Each structure stands twice: as structure tokens, then as C-alpha cells.
Amino acid sequence: MIGRLIATVAAFVVAGAADVIYNPTATLITGKVAGDQFQNSDVSAITVPLTFSVVNGVGGLMSLLLLIALVAIWAKPVLKLIADATAAE
């Protein structure tokens, strides 16, 4: 159980570190792209929504990876707890 708690804390630390590295970069990228959207160009009209979608997608992927890590850490004890609870009835 202690190992799972340590692994959970480690997963949150890694996810937090990745977020700390990713967010400033994403902010700078989206800021630059947002400023470029006022140019009279078809390319800027296409790159703004695409860039914003990619930035949001990467953030969502990072959250999904954290969720997968937590499920991998805690699935076995939770399933055992559920099995024990249903067997006791």
C-alpha cells in the first residue's frame, strides 16, 4: 500500500513537472499565433484554430496519461475491495 501511495505521488509530481514545462511554452505559442491572426492572410486564418486545437489536445493528452497511470496503480486494490464487498453480502 505504501508503494502505491509513493507511486501516486510520483505520478502527480511528474504530471505537475510536465505541466510546468508545457504551459509557458503553450502560452507563448498561442500568443504568437493569436497576434498573427490579424495579418491579411489565408494561412493565418487556418493556423490559428489548428494551433489552438493542438495545444488543447496536448493538454488533454497529458491529463489522460495521468489518469491511465493512476488507474494502473490503483486498479488491483480497488477491484479486490469491490470483490470482497460483494462477496460479504
Q: Please say if the pLDDT value at position 44 is more than 70.
A: yes
Q: Give CA–CA dist 53/29, Å, rounded.
A: 12
Q: What is the per-residue pLDDT for 42? A: 82
In single-letter form, the type of residue at position 62 comes to M
Query: Average pLDDT of 9-16?
Result: 97
Q: What is the per-residue pLDDT for 45? A: 82
Query: Average pLDDT of 59-74?
Result: 96
Q: Running DSSP on this structure, what letter comes out for residue 41? A: -
Q: Give CA–CA dist 47/37, Å, rounded.
A: 8
Quick one: pLDDT band at residue 85, thresholds 50, 70, 90?
confident
Number of residues assigned to the chain = 89
Mean pLDDT of the chain: 91
Tell me which of 89 and 22 has the higher pLDDT: 22
| Angle (CA) 63 44 25, round 5° | 35
Asked if residues 33 and 52 have their Cβ atoms less than 8 Å apart, the reply is yes
- Would you kindly state where each structural domain of the chain is located, as residue ranges? 2-87
